[in-house]
Amino acid sequence: MKRSRLQRANGRASRRGVVLGFLSLWLSFTTVASADGRDERERIVSVFHGPVVSVLANPDSDGHQLGDLRVVSLPTENRRGKTVGRLDATLITVSVDIPALNDETRISNLVFVFGPGTNQIVVNGTGFYPGAGGTIDLNSTLIRPVTGGSGRFAGATGWAETRHFPDDTWQHTFHLLLPELEDRDDDSDRRRRRRR
């Protein structure tokens, strides 16, 4: 039995309406924001550390050349000064004298490790740095995306704010959106079952 063009078009429109209705309902449940505009699912985590010594891995560089690689590994602390993990990072210079003479643009890959190593937050991004310095300037802030995580931070997205204080201490604040806990519990149950 052949359907007419009008019947096929009405069927497609009806299916689209159902799909759009379901999508609207799903979005209303998953994107509820609080009165201050912050997502209620957002989890904020901060770590702190002292001065950073970055190592320039290019032996023939003056420290202000394209492709310069800087590496960092240092312990991180909570607000009370207790060691909670470490920061392992690489920074690669991708432009010199931008945005101004003696400045650089660097791409960063920062891995914040909590505990023995299974709980991690990954931050990637780009920023402007003083060409003569291994890090961002004192008394400055850099915002970068959170691109992932593992363990209790599995599936994390969001953004990180790095603050370099005038006393050469640092604070990294992560504004995380994590998958629903039920989804993560289901995944860990599946992993346990697969190991057996």
Q: What is the pLDDT of residue 27?
A: 32
Per-residue pLDDT in tens (0 to 9) along the chain, 196 residues? 555 555 555 555 454 443 334 333 233 333 333 344 556 779 999 999 999 999 999 989 999 999 999 999 999 999 999 999 999 999 999 999 999 999 999 999 999 999 989 999 999 999 999 998 999 999 999 999 999 999 999 999 999 999 999 999 999 999 999 987 555 554 554 454 455 4
Rounded alpha-carbon distances, angstroms, from residue 77 to 50, 84, 93, 181: 9, 5, 28, 26
Q: pTM of the full predicted structure? A: 0.73
* Token pair of 191 as six digits: 């992993």
Return the pLDDT at 44: 96
Residues 178, 180, 181, CA angle at the centre, nearest 5°? 100
